[in-house]
Amino acid sequence: VPGLDDSTVYGPVAYNRISYDSPAIDNAPLDSCPAIDQRGRPRPSGHGCDIGSFEFQFVGVGKDGDDENTGLPGDPLLTLGAALDTHPDLIVLGEGAFEVEYETDFANIVGQGRELTTISNAGEGRILTISPEGGLFLSDLRVEPSGNHEGGCIRGQEGSRVTLENVDLIGCRVSDNDYGGAILTQGSVLLQSSSIVGGEGAEAGWGGGIAAPESDHISIDIRDSELLELDAVHQGGAVWSTSGYVRLSGTEVRECSAPDGGAIWHDAHWIVRNSTFADNLATGSIIDGSEADIVISESSLYDNQAASTLRAPTMWIYQCTFSNNSGVGVQCPDYSCGAIPCAFCHIESTTLVGDDTLLSVSTGELRLLASIVNGGEDTPACEGEINSLGNNIENRDSCNLQGDGDMSDTDPLLLTLQDNGGPTLTHEPASESPAIDAAEEDCGSSASGADQRGVLRSLPCDIGAVERVAE
């Protein structure tokens, strides 16, 4: 595998940048090296030439360096700004704290680890700004602004690409009428095994963690990461966007707040999988989008406080757990396509537990299949007409379940919310639960697959998000 970057970079002519781990680096003998590469950069930049038309160039930065040095191994620069001035393909930061405020079209910066390498702002402005169609890659470091920082930590302009891998962003903020406490993008953002953490005074107007104003290029992809203690004055405690796609996988969103979208406000397309939303706060909804369509699966939402936990006009919910949330669990709101109500919500193989209303629908359609509704004593579990597709259990009789295999006034006998294996917390049915093997020949689309935890189901499968495995 040659290790080519997936982007074509444009200079005098187009070329493909090789990646820092490409086997092409330094693998051509010195006696075969031309003087320069396709870009006009000198060869070699290491122990040998790089194979191909592109010579990968990197510089090192260390606390014992000097900006008069070359930046080559054993001769590091002192400041990150000086390294960025040379426009290398890779900057390797040593241990320590480095200050910078810089705008560039491309930067590839790797540290020594989150606890060992820190980037902060040199003054009170934004730390890194990426030009339109540019790219930023950060890895193995911490971004932690100092002083009275305003302006967020990272700005990606129109069509830019920002990738963070094993990075912590801590305490980034903007004013309460601005966007993107940590990251403001009009392009794409990928967070991989990273975290964005707020803290005292860290907030934004919209998007305490990430904000993406209207653009044709919006894509936010958050994988195996954490969004913690993020606040917004208006919308989107952790994430705010009005267009494009938001994808979360293996991610925790905790202790975030905003009036609307205490965790996330996104008004377009969402895909959420294997993620947790817990202890978030809103006056409206925890996850919200007035015109959004959402697919959420294998996820847990618990201990959130809001008028509703999940609200959107189009929702597909598969194998999720809702537990002990205040307000409505799933709200299928009024939404019209012209004069015709067209809100549509489909809930399948899901477990909903709580004292407040768990399901609410007004003029649209809410379908329920192979799910558990375990409500409280004083509040109806369901509001509006529920279209049962069968094999559901309700502990009371407020949902008017009429489908084949439905059970009303039936205690599902669920165990407490806990770690039952898998990436999220779940309610496992007790050994004597009526949910066990009660789905007959239909447990929804998950019948031939796995439950919320990734445990394989077997027919007849159990109702709800969890398949109990015989001891």
What share of residues in the chain are helix, strand, coil (percent, to 5)?
0, 45, 55
| pLDDT the model gives residue 160 | 95
Stronger pLDDT, 455 or 336, i.e. the higher one: 455
Q: If pLDDT is split at 50, 70 and 90, which confidence band does 25 have?
A: confident
470: CB partners within 8 A, 6+ apart: none
Kindly report which listed range (115-119, 202-206, 391-395) carries the lowest average pLDDT score: 202-206
| pLDDT the model gives residue 268 | 86
Stronger pLDDT, 358 or 124, i.e. the higher one: 358
Task: Count the alpha carbons within 13 Å of 65 in the hemisphere toward its beta carbon.
Answer: 28
299 Rama class: left (phi>0) / alpha (psi -120 to 50) / beta: beta
Beta-strand runs (E) in 225-313:
226-228, 232-235, 239-241, 245-249, 252-254, 264-266, 269-273, 276-278, 285-288, 293-297, 300-302, 305-311
Q: How far apart are CA 314 and CA 454, in angstroms?
A: 25
| pLDDT the model gives residue 2 | 46
| pLDDT the model gives residue 6 | 47
Kindly report which listed range (202-211, 219-228, 257-266, 268-277) carries the lowest average pLDDT score: 202-211
pTM comes to 0.91
| pLDDT the model gives residue 258 | 96
| pLDDT the model gives residue 356 | 95
How much of the chain exceeds pLDDT 90, in percent? 68
Residue 44: cis peptide before it, omega within 30 degrees of 0: yes
Contact yes or no for 381/357 (Cβ under 8 A) = yes
pLDDT at 298 exceeding the cut of 80: yes
Joined tokens for residue 301: 């939402």
pLDDT at 447 exceeding the cut of 50: no
Stronger pLDDT, 72 or 467, i.e. the higher one: 467
Q: How far apart are CA 314 and CA 332, in angstroms?
A: 8
Q: If pLDDT is split at 50, 70 and 90, which confidence band does 147 have?
A: low
Stronger pLDDT, 334 or 70, i.e. the higher one: 70
Q: How far apart are CA 325 and CA 341, in angstroms?
A: 28
Q: How far apart are CA 44 and CA 122, in angstroms?
A: 33
Q: Mean pLDDT throughout 362-386? A: 93
Instruction: Give the CA distances from residue 400 to residues 258, 323, 380, in Å, rounded to whole numbers and listed in that order.
Output: 34, 21, 11
Q: How far apart are CA 377 and CA 381, in angstroms?
A: 9
Contact yes or no for 94/80 (Cβ under 8 A) = no
3-class state of residue 241 by DSSP: strand
Q: If pLDDT is split at 50, 70 and 90, which confidence band does 122 have?
A: confident
β-pairing, 336-337 vs 340-341, is: antiparallel
| pLDDT the model gives residue 441 | 62
Q: If pLDDT is split at 50, 70 and 90, which confidence band does 190 have?
A: very high
Q: How far apart are CA 110 and CA 93, in angstroms?
A: 6
pLDDT at 187 exceeding the cut of 50: yes
Q: How far apart are CA 106 and CA 129, in angstroms?
A: 10
Kindly report which listed range (221-230, 264-273, 337-346) carries the lowest average pLDDT score: 337-346
Kindly report which listed range (96-100, 140-144, 314-318, 458-462) carries the lowest average pLDDT score: 458-462
Joined tokens for residue 92: 């390797």
Q: What is the rounded radius of gyration, in angstroms, for the C-alpha atoms of the chain?
A: 26
pLDDT at 453 exceeding the cut of 80: yes
340: CB partners within 8 A, 6+ apart: none
Q: What is the pLDDT of residues 27-52, one digit of tens each?
A: 888 777 888 888 777 777 556 788 88
Q: What is the pLDDT of residues 397-430, one digit of tens each?
A: 999 999 999 999 999 999 999 999 999 999 999 9
pLDDT at 154 exceeding the cut of 90: yes
